[in-house]
Structure 1
């Protein structure tokens, strides 16, 4: 059987980051027409369809132990994306991702045993504090809460993804998980009535969105999670705020003020420092 991905785990994570943030910028342009829930439904629904066709998982062969992890893995994946879309509907993408990083940050704290790692985590936490509601009253409070909730779901995704990658084939795990993510999200798309406004153009954008934001990055991340400890993976993912801010500026003209830029810089420096000082 041919290998489908030959990238080492770190480049795989970096490529996944760029892909996700470009997809998020595309997604936000769809919000006025079909809403955040409608966009999430198209993205996850098409992603699930693509991955099921690509990997054709045999659900009958999945063991009870695998079901016990892959179902919550998929549900956390779906909920994370839906709540994140609710967040970027209200606040800039770069800031939403920076706040969302609180989830992986907690994973990093739990998994760390060295003082230097706590220093990098503290620096990232300082960055997050710079855009907290009490220091930045121009941000929508509900959007901030959605971003923080998405961060908690992101932490669950990292932990469950690491577990399922140890006991289940990566392609089968991500395609089965995406199926349950779609089952969770689709009702919200219909309730919001955004899917009623679908046109061939929006559907085509949905396919591009599904590839960039779900099918490609989640498969790359699943590969990386099988080779990296959750702490290392979560710290690498702290590059997300920088990628998100750049994509938001390029595609959506979302400008950040000085304090907000410093918040992103703190998170990125923490990520770079932790990567340089991490043990092989």
Structure 2
């Protein structure tokens, strides 16, 4: 397994990040524990979760599954760079149970630590921007958490480029490290973050952690498998069929599975730290690992850009 720095920090993380959103709703606890053990065996040290994961009506269940895995010992916690998130409502619309007020951050961080059975989080991420809470309040709450040793680094998720700039300007005024990563939806099919999020992240030294790198499975080799798909996914397949036909044909020509090519493309993007893989099964974990062995040359990367046109960074894509 290859490792890289997380943004401008000295923290080393694996080039694949093990996402846990399926643990609980779709993957049993026993299977989840086996997948996390296998992740360590493969050299994956970067695991991502959120306080809201667990399935409808079961917020926090995924963190509890991870906590019971840590409790087994054997160096599991020590080997893991643990990332979780805060923002979602954790108490059925009761005031101050979600978002990023100082009170919400304090309560939700302590609740996550209890569920995770650990005394600190390596990377604490804002799951969304909170337009109603000033950055001075947010950073003050995180300064307290860092001083207490409960949080080491802070990241964002689903931020626009100007949100990153706003956050970093406020952090700089407080002589605080600020954000070190941004977790965004990014794949060959979804490249909007190339406009402003990636340029902002690169300027401020944030590592990009792409979620849904296979575009909800559309880049995993879906043609001929439309029957039995949910209507929404079947409609997406038909909407993108011309591109998917070219993509799957190119993958076959390169001698690789479509999903391996899609992950290899993400890994080849300079701003990307580690894409999040969300295996439901051990086979899916094994499949993701294959992508690390796929090397795409300039010709293959160029053909992928032709099939899935991306964006030049701002302002070149919309201004002269």
**Greater RCO, CA 8 A, separation 6+:** 1
TM-score, reference length from structure 1:
0.25
Kindly indicate which of the two structures has a greater share of residues assigned to helix. Answer: 1
The structure where strand makes up a greater share of residues is 2
Find the structure with the greater CA-based Rg.
2
